[in-house]
Chain A
Amino acid sequence: MIAGPLLLLIVPLVMAGVVYILLRWASLSALLSVGTALALGIAVVTLPLDQPVPVYFWGERQIVMGEAVTFLGRELVLGQADRVAMAFLFLTAAGLFFLAWRVAPRSLIFPMGLGLLSLLSGALLIRPLVYSALLVEIAAALSVFALQAEGQPATRGGIRYLTFTTLALPGVLVTHWLLERYVLTPDETGLLNMAAVLLAISFALLLGIVPFHTWVPAVAGDSVPLAGTFVLTVGNGAVWFLLLDFLETYPWLSTHPHFGSLFSTAGLAMVVVGGLLAPAQRRLGPLMGYGALVDSGGALIALGMHSRLGLTLVLLSLVVRPFGLALMATGLSGLRARNGDDDSFDALRGLGWKAPWSTAALIFGGLSVAGLPVSAGFIWRWPLCRALAPSSPGLALLLLLAGGGVMTGVWRGLSALLVRSRPPEGDRFPRVTSEGWLTAAVVAVVILGCVGIGLLPQVLAPLAAHLAETYTFFAP
């Protein structure tokens, strides 16, 4: 009998090794990575939790997804809420691997990404939660290898991300001890307050909450773009689910009198900082990072609403965020590759004509990250603004402005990309680009997916609502 958690931990690790060996064959390694992530992502939601499923190609073995497993003396268990979280991680990773096949072939994102999936799965499945922080930290250390581009100077993004994640570790570990002590001495409520403070600081570091946000633009701007997106979506998503698990496990956290104001204030700070700094950027990479900051800030504001609706919006934001960031990263990769790894606006002048698909990816990715129509990001920003408007119209308008700020940065970049070096000829549009039909097809598929989700949110929104119901800390 193969336990589901073991499958989710071991298979990606093994495949990471295989993919690393086969890395020189770009398409094969990409195919294996996409296939592994896709298969596991589908399996985790389709296979039943409590019934054994025979594996016909592996002798008489059976898989039981919900069976608990002991790892290093700690229990790993796949619950109902964890399934969707796992699926999110694996399917997002599959999408990123698919894009990386064209824009970052033979990069370490494939083997490291699979390894990270294994670690992050373990982080979400392990009980007690304190060990999750250790696994997240190990994942952060591994991600440095993926973030560092080959032949390039040492990336600031990787070391910055590692630093902040390391600094977050003590808070979570000590919290576990404080809570264990509280069980023994329940009259010492100071222990709970201390635990709340430490947890808040730790998650502030992990989520990049202002003023600990400097790793976010560094990861986006000074690393391999898709690897940075992997960190900002899959890695960041795992941290979010970890936060929700903490709130579920320790209900007194969500009933803290300062919960709503703390999250709203933190979210507001991120939205303001991101909204102000995004249009000020002269490079596309940090622009993407500040866009991600605004998006995260919006999610924090949604959580600060202290309601099931807010939680649904948080989950929806996590699900749609990869569309925007992945497209922006794809555009960024394509433009950098044709420009000697330089993504400054001055250096990108006129490049849009030679790389139209990268430019298109940048536009639609930017729209999604900014939360503007017609994109995946709009489907969670619209209901968030709508929910905030009656009680906090100023906050809703600030969110809109911040989205406008992010988009202003994108328009500035686009303006540089579309500078014409000479008068247009012929039918005024160059026929031949340097991107190849296959890359164009991949980018077109993802753009269509982003726009499709933006027009048909009923594909994903009910999933988010259903997932929100599995969490009880905001139960009405």
Chain B
Amino acid sequence: MPTLIDLLTRLSFLAAMPAVAGILITAGLLVVSRGWRLNVIALTLQYFFVVLLLTRLIQPEVAIVKGLIGWMICIVFYLTERRASALGQSSAVEGTGPSQRWRRWIMSARASFCLLAGILVLVAAYTAALRIPLPEVSTDVTLACYLLAGLGLLLVGLSEAPMQVGLGLLTFLSGFDLFYAALEPSLAVAGLLGAVSFLIALATAQLRVAQVTAGGEGKTL
């Protein structure tokens, strides 16, 4: 049975612009979407693409550990949101039927605004990647870093809902982690950064549970 490292080796052809494109799509989905299932899937895929890019900078084993931490975070989010749904007090988008939800998602002004803002961030990130290249990393990784940081910041800035903010912080940290792994390959730092990400996820989950339990809805745009 192939190991995880073997799988990554086979997919190493994606560890360039395709991974960057994947990061752009997943991070963009996080910015635009308010559906928790879609968000969890997007985050999972995002970590996958980040791991792919990390394999170019650090040892694959360490990259996989980072990925595992990320996927554990996704599991935490999944479980939290499932519980929230079970309590029947999910977010406003979740409160409607599937077909209405889909129609609203297409037509909502908020989603349009987020999409537009995301495009602006994309342009800014692209320009920054060309004008201010990051040291020790290639151009495509630079672009990925800027995309993750920018879209993560956008996600944090556009909402006060715990889950959205948590997703934004994790996206931002992923972008930074991608860059910093090239500068500082220390395992201690990698471990601590992973711990930070995990604790952010736990804190976010705790706040989400508090939000659901108290019956309040998070403020979103």
Q: Do chains A and B make direct contact within the complex (CB under 8 angstroms)? A: yes
**CB proximity of B89 to chain A, nearest CB, Å:** 11
Q: Which of A138, A155, A169 contacts B199 (CB 8 A)?
A: A138
Binary per-residue interface labels of chain A (307-330) against chain B in the complex, 1 for a CB within 8 Å, 0 otherwise: 000000000000000000000000
* Residue in B closest to A162 when the chains form the complex, CB atoms: B203
Interface segment, B34-42, B73-81, B92-100, B210-218? B210-218
Chain A nearest Cβ from B163, distance in angstroms: 10
A393 to B207, CA, bound (A): 46
Once the chains bind, are B188 and A144 in contact (CB under 8 Å)?
Answer: no
Query: Which one of A141, A142, A154 contacts B218 once the chains associate, using CB atoms below 8 Å?
Result: A154
User: Contact between A151 and B191 (Cβ–Cβ < 8 Å)?
Assistant: no
Among the stretches A17-25, A170-178, A368-376, A464-472, the one at the interface with B is: A170-178
Asked whether, in the complex, the Cβ of A154 is within 8 Å of the Cβ of B211, the reply is yes
What is the CA–CA distance of A144 and B169 in the complex, to the nearest angstrom? Answer: 14
A136-167 interface (Cβ within 8 A of B): 137-138, 141-142, 144-145, 148, 151-156, 158-159, 162-163, 166-167
- A43 at the B interface (CB under 8 A): no
Bound: A173/B210 CA distance, A: 32
A104 → B minimal CB distance (Å): 16
Do B180 and A154 touch across chains, with their CB atoms under 8 A apart? Answer: no
- Give bound CA distance, A464 to B104, whole Å: 61
A227 shortest CB reach to chain B, Å: 13
Instruction: Say whether B206 contacts A173, CB under 8 Å.
Output: no
Question: In the complex, what residues of B have CB within 8 A of residue A158's CB?
Answer: 203, 207
Interface pair A162/B200, CB less than 8 Å apart = yes
Are A163 and B208 in touch, CB under 8 angstroms? no
Q: Which residues in B have their C-beta under 8 angstroms from that of A134?
A: 189, 192-193, 196
A153 and B210 form a contact (CB under 8 A): yes
**Nearest Cβ distance between residue A381 and chain B, in whole angstroms?**
35
Asked if B6 is at the interface of the complex by the 8 Å CB criterion, the answer is no
- The residue on A at minimum CB distance from B161 is A154
Q: Is the CB of A154 within 8 A of B207?
A: yes
Q: Which residues of B contact A159 (CB under 8 A)?
A: 160, 162, 165-166, 203-204, 207
Interchain CB contact under 8 A, A141 and B202: yes
Q: A145 vs B200: C-alpha distance in the bound complex, in angstroms?
A: 11
Specify which of B153, B196, B214 is in contact with A151 (CB 8 Å cutoff).
B214
Contact of A131 among B165, B192, B210 (CB under 8 A): B192
A131 near B188 (CB under 8 angstroms)? yes
B106 → A minimal CB distance (Å): 29
Within residues 158 to 214 of chain B, which ones have a CB less than 8 A from any CB in chain A?
A: 160, 162, 165-166, 169, 172-173, 176, 180, 183-184, 186, 188-189, 191-193, 195-196, 199-200, 202-204, 206-208, 210-211, 213-214
Q: Does A438 contact B (CB under 8 A)?
A: no
Which residues from B are CB-within-8-Å of A145?
A: 203, 206
Chain A residue at smallest Cβ distance from B180 = A173
Residues of A within 8 A of B203 (CB): 141-142, 144-145, 158-159, 162
Task: Flag whether A475 is at the interface (Cβ < 8 A).
Answer: no
Chain B residues within 8 Å of A135, by CB: 192
**C-alpha spacing A322/B188, complex, angstroms:** 34
Partner of B188 from the list A74, A141, A152, A176 (CB cut-off 8 Å) is A74
**Assuming the A-B contacts A152-B214, A153-B216, are A166 and B180 also in contact, with contact meaning beta carbons closer than 8 angstroms in the complex?**
no
In the complex, B125 has a CB within 8 A of chain A:
no
A423 at the A/B interface (Cβ < 8 Å)? Answer: no
B51 at the interface (CB under 8 A from A): no
Question: With a CB–CB cut-off of 8 A, which chain A residues contact B210?
Answer: 148, 152-155
Decide if B30 is an interface residue (CB 8 Å cutoff).
no
